[in-house]
Structures are given as C-alpha cells and as structure tokens.
Amino acid sequence: MKRLFAPLLVIVALIGLALWGAWQKTPRGEVQAIPCENPMAGCAFLHEGLPATLRFSVQPEALKPFVLSIASPRLREASVSFQMVGMDMGFNRYDLRQDAEGNWSARVTLPVCTVSRVDWTAEITLDGRHYALAFDTR
C-alpha cells in the first residue's frame, strides 16, 4: 500500500494542477475587444468609463522580452496572458505592477509558436473585466 501512495499522490497533484491551469485560462464574463493598429504607439480604450491606454515597448517577437504597460485612473489590478486562436499556448499569465506614477507594467515574453504563426491575442484582465487585443509579431 505504501508503494502506491507516492505515485497516486503525484497523479492527484498533476490532475489538480491541470484543472487549475484550465480554470485560469477560461475567460469569465464578457470580453471587450480593444481596436488598435499599432500597440507600440498606444491603444486607447475605456475601462469602467474612464480613458485607458495600453502600449508595447517594442514590436513583439517570440521568446524576446518586452514591456507591456497600461495607464488607467483608479486601476487596482491588472494581468495579461497571450494566446493564439485554436492553439494551446500553455499557461503564461503575467501580473502587472503599479509604479510611482500610477502606471501598470510587466516585462513579458511570448511563448514560441511551433508552426510559425504570427497572429496573437493579448487577453487582459483589469479589475475583473476582460479585454482582448489582437496583434501580429514579426
């Protein structure tokens, strides 16, 4: 019996981790699209009726870090993950941190796409509200 306990415990832990990851990736509630032609120049949208701006520091490339920043008054919590339509890109959630000026940012890295696609979606959560920004990499 003791010989089965450790492998069974590992299996239960892995199942729990897989379920937690799937729950984290499941969008909850309505998702608002953020229209934007150039995320490096900035993308304006409304969050809770107030103006907000999202910006990338550089043109994103897979496995090359860049800074994603968001400015929005009264923002309390922000996170982002990156996905492709019809592909599982794994768990890659980043929590943004607020700086002294009240802007939120995180140094993020896109996962690698094994089929050389360039169409991405940034799934952004601000104070429990969900937004989506479609963009392309090089």
Q: Residue 58 — pLDDT band, cuts 50, 70, 90?
A: very high
Q: How many beta carbons lie within 10 A of that of residue 122, not counting itself?
A: 23
Radius of gyration of the chain (CA): 17
Confidence of residue 60 (pLDDT cuts 50, 70, 90): very high
Greater model confidence, 3 or 94: 94
pTM: predicted TM-score of the whole model, two decimal places:
0.77
Q: Which structural domains are found in the chain, ordered by start?
A: 31-136 (2.60.40.1930)
* pLDDT over 90 at 53, yes or no: yes
- Please give the Cα distance from 133 to 138 (Å, whole number): 16
- Provide mean pLDDT across the span 29-55: 96
| Cα→Cα distances 6→3, 14, 15, 16, Å | 7, 12, 14, 15
pLDDT at 115: 80
